[in-house]
Structure 1
């Protein structure tokens, strides 16, 4: 009813995602054998119900960063303090990407990658002050992250022509 009445072109739904690197409190999670926080499963049952009610309607996941442990570890090893930062596991994002979910927001992952590169750079080069020096390392991690997400998580590798055709059809 909401989609019909408002004419929205996509719908951001609540199935367990949340913004930021601390989307879950430790008490909402379990810990694996290594003591790493494991967040609760996304509510794929709700997603399936919505897909039945509005078939093929574009769904958006806000706050779906994975809070990639590699970048958290680099940040913490270089003066940061991101204890208990946890995100949406990538296997769940892969599953969501195969559904009606057409947009998965991962801004926190991008921020973490940039911060990891910059913190690492400053520890290795404490005399640097020129942003062209330290931002390049952050950009390098962002490039690595985006390539990984496109190829290994979001299912969008090799689909530029298809996506551009959809964009142009909706103009």
Structure 2
């Protein structure tokens, strides 16, 4: 079984992306019919994110993901991720709370966490802009101001380095 993402998360991210433009009426209609407490195919989420990202571009996707992550922080808190340390100390645990049976290839793991910085590695099929916006939004939701971001790629692995104050 490929993974499943809870409707509340699916809707928060993709609903914001489709609302950003009138070019996505079919996707918006599908998202509007989703229930927060129902699980939906991870493959559909990945596919839709890719389609929308190709249309909207990196900057828009990062900004949308940032706002969405801040709005969905109560969902993360309800899962027990109620501090920066809990979210970024083991980011993959949060991801697995949002996506059950997450394919290992789509994980995002914490490489190192310090009080004012984190390094994460991902092989995820999700765009870097979406992941980066999500990281920024979660940090902002905890009142942190991101001061430095670095994204590097080696082979299929992307490393995200963030610092904040």
TM-score normalised by the chain length of structure 2? 0.32
Larger Rg: 1
TM-score normalised by the chain length of structure 1? 0.31
